[in-house]
Amino acid sequence: MTKGDINRQAIRKLKPGKLVIASHNAGKVREIKDLLGLYGIEPVSAADLDLPEPDETGTTFIANAELKALQAADLSGLPALADDSGLCVEALDNEPGIFSARWAGPDRDFNLAMRLVRDNLIAKGPEAGHDAHFICALALAWPDGHVEAFEGRVDGVITWPPRGSRGFGYDPIFQPNGHAISFGEMEPERKHAMSHRADAFAKMVAAVF
């Protein structure tokens, strides 16, 4: 039995106190802080602690979230929460997927990334569907190497042109099913109630608090 197998045998509870949010993405940090609001947690971002960003070498959202959380917990000596999330466009074989941030280039230009999604869909021809989903994996790690992981999803369609200036990343071109507006147009409280991140967060809260 490996250390990872032992670590996963029982859910570990998260106690009130400081928690590192293992991200340098200000939008993600803001959303996670909002979601943590009522649980006695004192969030501090990896950027605030000058922690490095690890290379995301995992082949799944959960693998990347785990490696980020484990590094932040090891370097800070505190529990750490990491998010790995992305947009999966079904007609593009679920790309950009785990490479969602990389499509934005070194300058994190998500206007460029959204245009790439549009251009790739156009290249697929007029019969290509616009179904898409967001995936969010949350990994919660402790300095001793224990890690818990949770995954959430929200389904929708790609819309063009981009709509709205709220949210971040691909939000302006993603319209969730059952809604007439994009995530980029949606009030933060409304998005928090039904997003992929909210889905993963609800699973985590049910397990660790």
Peptide bond into 96 cis (omega under 30): yes
Taking the CA atoms of 104, 109, 114 and 117 in sequence, report the sign of the dihedral they define. negative
Q: Which of 5, 74, 83, 84 is catalytic?
A: 84
- Beta 147-158 vs 131-141: how paired, if at all? antiparallel
Q: How many CA atoms lie within 13 A of 169 on its CB side?
A: 23
55 among known catalytic residues: no
Interatomic CA distance for residues 45 and 126, integer angstroms: 43
Residues forming the active site: 84
